[in-house]
């Protein structure tokens, strides 16, 4: 981990393996809405381990994944290799590094990453990089560790709280758009035809996936646990083994807020 890796330093392998994608429905929606085809260039800002850039690359001419965390980009590269995709380019950089040197795009996506950025400034800069009619899309899903409602999720959180002092509160579902509506922000920057779409998603988590998801979170990273990482992991596995479920269900929604230049 280097100082530049930011809040996800040390999580990268877990992030790549255990953070789910957004599902076919959300990506098909973007493909249809913005007429993506072999001539389209897509920018995925805060691309992480490529959960959006790699599947989208199958439907466009070129996808550019940009992220300040170099180790995360290496994971994204591996995902692209495993998928046999060669039309991806990886750029180390953050929202502050958006510039005309990246070229023009037909779509810019940000998945689970927009809240880390200077939001208005980022939308303004992206607008400058988009071709007329091109889209900006902010994708998100429920972070179950603090916002889920399942009993098994309470158990994971409660155990982590025994080890870590600075966990964010487990609030259950929060409409984070209520105070700071991103669709209104997108519109106020000058994008037209703004839409907020939601897609129901059901997931089943195994014990390994639950453990890996916990270590993929910036505030629950292996570095935060330090020498107690192994102790936490074995206690978590034990606690999950004592539960009645064999796999752990999650019913959630993927949201896509998008607008057109
Ligand atoms: C939760 S991950 C999301 C990764 C991926 N987009 C996804 O949907 O799973 C957040 C990513 O945002 C990146 N990030 C953090 N601050 C950023 C910034 N200011 N500009 C761009 N990306 C940033 C992190 O390095 C991390 O890879």
Q: Which mean pLDDT values do the consecutive 10-residue runs of the chain (261 residues) have?
A: 73 96 97 98 98 98 98 98 98 98 98 96 98 97 94 97 95 79 97 97 96 97 96 98 93 96 98
- The fraction of the chain above a pLDDT of 70, given in percent, is 98
Domain that holds residue 165: 3-260
The Cα–Cα gap between 92 and 95 comes to: 11
CB 105 within 8 A of CB 130: yes
Structure tokens at 236: 């978590």
> How far apart are alpha carbons 93 and 67 in whole angstroms?
5
Q: How far is the CA of 65 from the centre of ligand 1 (A)?
A: 10
Contact criterion met (CB below 8 Å) for 11 and 218: yes
219, two tokens: 């505030």
Q: What is the rounded distance in angstroms from the CA atom of residue 174 to the CA atom of residue 201?
A: 17
Residue at token pair 């105070």: 179
Quote the radius of gyration of the chain (alpha carbons, Å).
18
Check residue 246 and report its DSSP letter: S
Nearest ligand 1 atom to the CA of 218 is: 1
Q: Give CA torsion, residues 99, 59, 186, 180, to 10 deg.
A: -110
Ligand 1 centroid – CA 252 distance (Å): 21
Q: For position 245, which CATH number holds?
A: 3.40.50.150
Residue 1: what pLDDT?
44
* Ligand 1 center to 6 CA (angstroms): 9
Q: How many structural domains are present in the chain?
A: 1
């Amino acid at each position: 981990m280097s100082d530049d890796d930011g809040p996800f330093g040390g999580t990268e392998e877990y992030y790549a393996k255990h953070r789910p994608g957004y599902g076919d429905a959300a990506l098909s929606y973007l493909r249809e809405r913005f007429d993506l085809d072999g001539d389209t260039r897509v920018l995925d800002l805060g691309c992480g381990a490529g959960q959006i850039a790699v599947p989208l690359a199958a439907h466009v001419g070129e996808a550019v994944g940009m992220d300040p965390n170099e180790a995360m980009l290496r994971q994204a590269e591996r995902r692209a290799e495993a998928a046999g995709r060669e039309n991806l380019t990886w750029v180390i950089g953050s929202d502050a590094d958006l510039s005309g040197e990246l070229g023009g795009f037909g779509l810019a996506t940000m998945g689970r990453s927009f809240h880390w950025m200077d939001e208005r400034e980022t939308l303004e800069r992206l607008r400058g990089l988009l071709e007329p009619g091109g889209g900006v899309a902010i994708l998100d899903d429920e972070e179950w560790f603090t916002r889920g409602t399942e009993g098994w999720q309470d158990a994971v959180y409660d155990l982590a709280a025994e080890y870590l002092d600075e966990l964010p509160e487990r609030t259950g579902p929060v409409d984070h758009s209520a105070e700071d509506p991103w669709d209104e922000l997108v519109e106020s920057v000058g994008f037209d035809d703004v839409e907020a779409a939601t897609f129901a998603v059901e997931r089943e988590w195994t014990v390994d996936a639950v453990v890996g998801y916990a270590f993929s979170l910036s505030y629950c990273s292996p570095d935060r646990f330090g020498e107690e990482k192994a102790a936490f992991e074995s206690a978590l596995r034990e606690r999950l083994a004592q539960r009645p479920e064999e796999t752990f269900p999650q019913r959630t929604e993927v949201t896509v807020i998008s607008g057109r230049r």
